[in-house]
Amino acid sequence: MRIAYTSDQIRTAERALMARLPEGALMRRAAAGLAAACAGLLPRVYGSRVLVLVGSGDNGGDALYAAATLAGRGARVDALLAGSRTHQGGLAALRAAGGRVLGGSESEAVRRAAGRADLIIDGLVGIGGTGPLREPYAALAEIVNDTPGIVVAVDVPSGVDASNGQVDGAAVRADLTVTFGACKTGLFIDPGAGQSGVVELVDIGLGPYLPDADVVALTDLDVAGLLPRPGRESDKYRRGVVGIVAGGSRFTGAAVMTVAGAIRSGAGMVRYAGQDEPASAVRDRWPEAVITTLAPGEGVDRVGRVQAWVLGPGLGTDDDALAVAESVLAGDLPVALDADALTLAAAEPSLLRRDAPTVITPHAGELSRLTGVPRQDIEAARLHHAREAARTLGVTVLLKGSTTIVAEPGRPPRINLTGTPWLASAGTGDVLSGILGTLLAAGLDCYDAASCAAYLHGAAARVAADGAPLAASDVADALPQVARSLT
């Protein structure tokens, strides 16, 4: 499991560790790891051109010491001192190793140095930075982003809030972020995650001093350990029966895609309940699904035994849809609500007031309707609003988007790291709902089911896309391959 912390948590741990170490030892550890990571990116260190952008904080000192190590190995290092002050020990080390200091940050020499550099080290702003970059840092970030060299950020890209991933204006776009001691939350969450490139963690000994995690991210091993596996005594009921109420006369495909996600992710049985047109579409595509055709306004009493429900994709929002939604939510089984079910819940909040396990899977617009918070505010602070929605609504929230977040009261949010922009395609959310229903029916709690569903969904999309456009059906079809890779 990958664990991340806020900048305040990191700084508190650093102070506790530094109190037990000789002065400067922690910075030397960080700089050694940074220098090794930078050297590994260059075909050869000797003769390579390196530009280091140095700010006023400690990460400017980290950058200077790392640059001194590279200069000592024969790199041609130029340093731009952009801050109001400079770490004197790091500067002396760089000069002693043969590094040069450039003139003012506005000079054409800076652009030339950036343009010809094989590697640029961003040591402008560290984990304490919040809000927009001030000048000359903002201009330097733009220069760095317009150069062909490899960009390495020190601890966090300048312009990214380390605690939440927010970016307000210009920010360095790194190919590699070398972060010290522990990952920072902002490296996991867009837009900060998108600015960070590959994240490499350097152990500097913070472990014993770190508190409980701010957020966590599952890995292949974590998901493999959580996924239910059939045993010798398994039957379709032990594996889990998921009931799906989705699709209507307008969006029949939503029913087909939701059932696809459930079947392809390993449901013991799928029971589909819906009106004639979507029921016919499901029957034609998925003959293994057990289908109950509902009359307009009919509830789910005739559907038979299920262990969890998926409610909402393409269902509609008329009185008939409300009646069947009320029927599902009146029971005591786990329910995953998506799409039109969320619109119904926004209009009738009492639908979510239930004691049984409940997961909602909104995108930012749907969460806005549920909470009254403007969509743009949610998109700008996804982690905060996912947490708040889980707390105020009393449900597990799977907030979909460029960074998918699973939040549940009393537990650290889980950040999904397997997604891909190719998932921005019609029907892929329906597939996710089907996967989630399968895992709920198999007995996972809402927190684990939502986290694993997001992980499998993103991993399947990566397999299906392979760098090219995909359809929702491609994601569903890739699920068995992903499951096999986790065994």
- Residue 448 is assigned to a ligand binding site: no
Low-confidence ranges of the chain (pLDDT < 50): none
The amino acid present at 275, given as its one-letter code, is Q
Q: Is 363 annotated as a binding residue?
A: yes
72 labeled part of a ligand binding site: no
212 is in an annotated binding site: no
Alpha helices in 265-318 (DSSP H): 276-285
Predicted pLDDT at 105? 53
Tokens 């109950």 belong to 292
- Whether residue 128 is annotated as binding a ligand: the answer is yes
Q: pLDDT at position 76, please?
A: 97
pLDDT at residue 329, as a whole number: 98
Task: Read off the CATH number of the domain in which 171 is found.
Answer: 3.40.50.10260
349 is in an annotated binding site: no
pLDDT at 175: 98
Q: Is 236 annotated as a binding residue?
A: no
Of 195, 214, 233, the residue that ends a domain is 214
Task: Give the number of other CB atoms < 10 A from CB of residue 8.
Answer: 14
185 labelled binding-site residue: no
pLDDT of residue 262: 98
Of the three residues 162, 188, 214, the one that is the final residue of a domain is 214
Residue 147: which domain range?
2-214
Measured torsion, CA atoms of residues 157, 158, 160, 161, in degrees rounded to the nearest 10: 110
Q: Give the pLDDT confidence score for residue 234 in this predicted structure.
A: 77
CA distance 29 to 49: 24
- 207 known ligand binder: no
Residues 187 and 225 in one domain: no
Same domain, 314 and 426: yes
- Exposure pattern of 65-80 as b/e (b: 16+ CB <10 Å)? bbbbbbbbeebbbbbb
| Number of domains comprising the chain | 2
The annotation status of 130 as a binding-site residue, yes or no, is: yes
DSSP label at residue 190: T
201 plus 328 within the same structural domain:
no
Q: What pLDDT, on a 0 to 100 scale, did the predictor assign at position 366? A: 98
